[in-house]
Structure 1
């Protein structure tokens, strides 16, 4: 099973179009210590031919141009993308669906009931795309049982409810339902390898901790370094927690959580890869030479970059 990082940044990307923070300014002036990134998305395949899109960012067209596997190669008009799965209804994870409207057949879309409701009402991608290719909705079960996706016959997915925030446009913004935000346990039944993908994570409860501990590869929320990061740089009055994200630093942050995972069948040992994804443009870990990056290095935690590939 192969997983490719299409985009590794949080909403807005790096540089964000209207931001002149230190990181965005450094990318614009060509600073070699920092790399531009598009908005968060993955794709996954068993055969390098049929690819499932995990979240569809507004940068999807740029990401397809950078990923030959997703480009047309078998017919006059086609794509390596066989279907899409979204983990929430955030704009930075769903707006890219609109840009796939030229597809010749309805795009199979795997989503939870609450997310599908948002995409029919609050952010009505479903009704809009019904005038183009259309969406073929496939419900993600929230009963703790695994499910399968066409094109990945030997891969088993399981939805894990996450404590995070519903989109700002949602009536559930301050009282999210259990299926407004999910992580994904992805198991390669051929190799036995397990991946846990959670780009938006506000708290680590027992089921999430167990999912993290049981994975060979973690692709986990890396949005903010500090709880008050956006306030410190004068870009928002909201904390990381207000926006549904667990910062990396601090006694209860992501670094501490990753270091305290229980050892389940040896998976939490040194061979487990821990990779931060969905990284906000203000986060100092984006700089290769920053003290914060060196601290991550000391803890064996990696920082995702566009194009990163994992074989599991």
Structure 2
């Protein structure tokens, strides 16, 4: 059988998820400027690296948000009421959700939604051992798109959980779309517990996304490793390096992969040329003042309930109520 026939046979068996990944990468690298979606960071290796990032001394968001959640888990439980079903968008390692499961009164169900299936299933297996009375139904999927939730039973309130300032990875228009989809998925009477990062000094922000150990750089470069492995591209990782900068006009941290030299990268029949210093924009992390984000939530069908911050005013956790 000829090589071209084998290639066609392999492509014909490509999963819809892999096909979408391929299409998104080709579209992003064809754009000007070049870009890749941060949702593809989270293969198994990327998820492990992000767990390491969350423990770095420079990366304040995780520990700061954990402090706010610990201080107000009882308040969230009172809002949720008994028998609530918890739906987490982008569950990751599920460290933060334990605070809520411990605080909730007889939680009925936990539905984590994450694009990284193996990492999520491992976390859910550990949770299931520790919370045997809570029905666990993981959903492997892209929570940036409309999702139909599994049946969660009757009686308890649906509580969405979207921590980690992941809302900041979306553009403002994308964040509005997510909030609208979450409102539709969670339904009437639901609430959404939303963590978001507040504006602060440039030096603090840039250090958080460019740590001295190079873990964030490895996380960023792993995206190219994944594209090589899963899509057959030929990125030379040594020919790119990680950059993080604060775009003050947009109030966002930007992560880029910068080409060190003139080069050409191949993916299928496509060729993508780079000049020295040209970048692939891989992630934004918007820093929202609370009034701006609450205005976006209101436009998506939510009203602001409680809102808490840490003592320094670096991070906020809001409870949004469906209207």
Question: What TM-score does the superposition give when structure 2 sets the normalisation length?
Answer: 0.36
Question: What TM-score does the superposition give when structure 1 sets the normalisation length?
Answer: 0.37
Bigger Cα Rg: 2
